[in-house]
Structure 1
Amino acid sequence: MNTTPTSIRALHIAAAATLFCASLAARAGEVEVLHYWTSGGEAKAAAALKATLQAKGHSWKDFAVAGGGGDSAMTVLKSRVVSGNAPAAAQIKGPSIQEWGAEGVLANLDDVAKANNWDALLPKVVSDVMKYKGNYVAVPVNVHRVNWLWASPAALKKANAKMPTNWDEFFVTAEALKKAGLIAVAHGGQNWQDFTTFESVALGVGGADFYRKALVQLDPGSVKSPTMLKVLTTFKKVKDYTDKNASGRDWNLATAMVIRGESGMQLKGDWAKGEFIAAGKVPGKDFLCAAAPG
């Protein structure tokens, strides 16, 4: 995990961190929480937060919105805010914090942050995302790394294939899985899933400097470079090994395909581990995980 350059990991933290933002709409003792943690593994995480809140003497009012990697939840949140009926707390991805802060709907959490020494405890790359104009308005509940490769040992054994470490090996394994009658790559064809997979390919094929210039700095030369063409070609080849029913599939359903041994591999962030664990699977025995090729 530490092989990913700090600046690249920072981007993933900012882009993938899941946050709670507080509004002023809660009644004392009751906290309505709008979130999109609805898969098996995510539900366990939400339950842990709920238990912590209840231990403090508060009541958790659950408002779960499934689908779209949070897009559906954000549509509902916008509607609630516009109608003047905002929840007390909402799960929001890192980059959106600034947008909500600009709307003036986030509560100032500086007193809580100071009392709990957040500035000292949180890495600056995380605390900066939690702040709007220098004030804390959110608290991180998780930080993700996107570029992981998950695999089914049973599927690999059936295909007489090995866990790949580079893109050449990845496609050799994918072809072997396909010939064995399995779905080589489990994928959900939703915009956010396509992009996180593209991120993994871009970093693995182009390297950290290319990734930073092309996807962070949006450097025109990098975007139009032969390296980008190779990234796009590799990405298309990965998609060619997904199944015809991938379009619109939720990420956790794709992970379930690997869990059941129907598919050999999945490129997905570290949140996928929660699904394997929730299904009672044992790391290294029932499922494998390694950095995405590159």
Structure 2
Amino acid sequence: MNINKTLLTLSLSATFLPSLSNAGEVEVLHWWTSGGEAKSVQELKAMLEEQGHSWKDFAVAGGGGESAMTVLKTRAVSGNPPSAAQIKGHDIQEWGGLGFLTNLDDVAQSGKWDDVVPTMVTDVMKFNGEYVAVPVNVHRVNWLWANPEVLKKAGVGVPKTLDEFFAAAEKIKAAGYIPLAHGGQPWQDATVFEAVALDVLGSDDYRKAFVELDMDTLSGDKMVEVFTKFKKVHDYIDANSPGRDWNVATSMVINGEAAMQIMGDWAKGEFTAAGKVPGKDYICAPAPGTDGQFTHNVDSFAFFEIKDEANVSAQKALAATILDKDFQEVFNLNKGSIPVRTDMDMSAFDQCALDSMATFKASAKTGDLVPSMAHGMSTTSYAQGAIYDVVTNFFNDPNADPKEAAQKLAKAVKAAI
């Protein structure tokens, strides 16, 4: 795709194209600072600048966005919010309830967002029925990334179940490799935990536990089994895991130091940035035991109420550009995710993305499309924080008891809601 031609087409066709006299500035808060992510942000910046506006980058590093949210709260409360900020899931409703967000319905109607974006996604982007946020993409979280060379050297295949994973991990360990690349941060612990939970609980009980916050499910026998298997996973990560960033863990798989990583499809952006080819240099497969299921994480930007007229014009141009087909293609190719629009030509996408889109559409019909707890899609930040605490404390305590952990999980969630 000729990016310059695309930019020109977009700049001429954008509904909210500014005249240079009312060119404004957008300040955008995000935490996309790793290779594939940073490249994606540059595309958005370039498209906006092509329309005559300027972009002020407000990047706060940290994969799960906790640091960024702390900074955002300080700015918003002091009456100086950015134009847009990377906010998703239930947090959008929270910010809307506080009265900080602006109405984007004019941009949405012009772009026919309701026609091209699934209702499951648009519902999250609206507050009191009005658009206040724009979805950027759909990530599948329950992926297993593997280095085929390391698997071959250990004499194992890609594990399809957790039992196969544990058996393969033993052989990989014996062959002198790290079976599972992992970063010991709460959101990464929760990412692995929810993949295990999706397998053990199944989609319905997963929903009961992490969407409905059902106390019996959170403390029940199946949850005890989740913790038991999750504990076993710890045997296959290395001692240097605590504090490691997710993209550093991904590079361990890329470099052949580790065999596998359980991580969302943003990891694919790192493989792509390193010039690796899916099916040849790396394998993408459903996390063990979760074939046909899809844990979704939808990245989005919430738009804040600002006063300057030129900056409002720039803000609307940004909202329109995010859902433009050309941007959706180039952004998601870099990021590793799939477009949030259902009317996209997917011919430029690789097999991992095609598999992801097929499972996304199929799981929506079977009831196996579930929101990610680890990535703020299934519940409030308070309940998520309570789950994080229990999960991380358990994972890092070699003497922790799975039955006790399930009881603690239910109690912690109950206290948070």
Within the alignment, does 1:195 sit opposite 2:200 as a pair?
no
Q: Of residues 158, 163, 166 in structure 1, which corresponds to 2:158?
A: 163
| Structure 1 residue 224: Cα displacement | 2.3
Conserved? CA contact 2:23–2:52, under 8 Å = no
Q: What residue in structure 2 maps to residue 225 of structure 1?
A: 220
Conserved? CA contact 1:68–1:190, under 8 Å = no
Q: What residue in structure 1 maps to residue 140 of structure 2?
A: 145
Q: Distance in 2 between matches of 1:240 and 1:52?
A: 46
Conserved? CA contact 2:209–2:217, under 8 Å = yes
Conserved? CA contact 1:109–1:138, under 8 Å = yes
| Structure 1 residue 210: Cα displacement | 1.9
- Structure 2 unaligned regions, length at least 5: 1-21, 290-417
Mapping of residues 47-196 of structure 1, within 5 Å:
47-196=42-191
Q: Distance in 2 between matches of 1:178 and 1:54?
A: 50
* Secondary structure of 2:242's aligned partner: coil
Q: Are the structure 2 counterparts of residues 28 and 56 from structure 1 closer, same or farther at C-alpha, using a change threshold of 3 Å?
A: closer
Mapping of residues 269-284 of structure 1, within 5 Å:
269-284=264-279
TM-score calculated relative to the size of structure 2: 0.63
Higher relative contact order (CA 8 A, sep 6+): 2
* Secondary structure of 1:198's aligned partner: helix
Q: What residue in structure 2 maps to residue 293 of structure 1?
A: 288
Q: Of residues 227, 230, 233 in structure 2, which corresponds to 1:235?
A: 230
Q: What residue in structure 2 maps to residue 46 of structure 1?
A: 41
Q: Distance in 2 between matches of 1:206 and 1:282?
A: 33
| Structure 1 residue 68: Cα displacement | 4.4
Q: Write the letter of the residue equivalent to 2:129.
A: G
- State how many pairs are aligned: 268
| Structure 1 residue 157: Cα displacement | 1.7
| Structure 1 residue 293: Cα displacement | 1.1
Q: What is the CA deviation profile of residues 98-122 of structure 1, one whole-angstrom value per residue up to 9, with x for unaligned ones?
A: 1111121111101111111111111
Q: Of residues 251, 257, 265 in structure 2, which corresponds to 1:256?
A: 251
Q: Distance in 2 between matches of 1:69 and 1:218?
A: 22
Q: Distance in 1 between matches of 2:90 and 2:234?
A: 27
Q: Write the letter of the residue equivalent to 1:125.
A: M
Q: Distance in 2 between matches of 1:248 and 1:104?
A: 36
Q: What is the CA deviation profile of residues 242-291 of structure 1, one whole-angstrom value per residue up to 9, with x for unaligned ones?
A: 11111111111111111111110100111111010011001011110101
TM-score calculated relative to the size of structure 1: 0.88
Q: Distance in 1 between matches of 2:168 and 2:153?
A: 11
Q: Distance in 1 between matches of 2:205 and 2:83?
A: 41
Please identify, of 278-287 and 192-201, the stretch whose mean Cα deviation from structure 2 is larger: 192-201
Q: Distance in 2 between matches of 1:220 and 1:28?
A: 53
Q: Which runs of 4+ in 1 moved over 3 A?
A: none
Q: Write the letter of the residue equivalent to 1:42.
A: E
Q: Which of the pair has more CA radius of gyration?
A: 2
Conserved? CA contact 2:75–2:81, under 8 Å = yes
- Structure 1 unaligned regions, length at least 5: 1-26
Q: Of residues 209, 213, 218 in structure 1, which corresponds to 2:208?
A: 213
Q: Distance in 2 between matches of 1:176 and 1:51?
A: 47
More strand by share: 1
Q: What is the CA deviation profile of residues 227-256 of structure 1, one whole-angstrom value per residue up to 9, with x for unaligned ones?
A: 111111111111221111111111111111
- The percent identity for this pair of structures is 66
Within the alignment, does 1:36 sit opposite 2:20 as a pair?
no
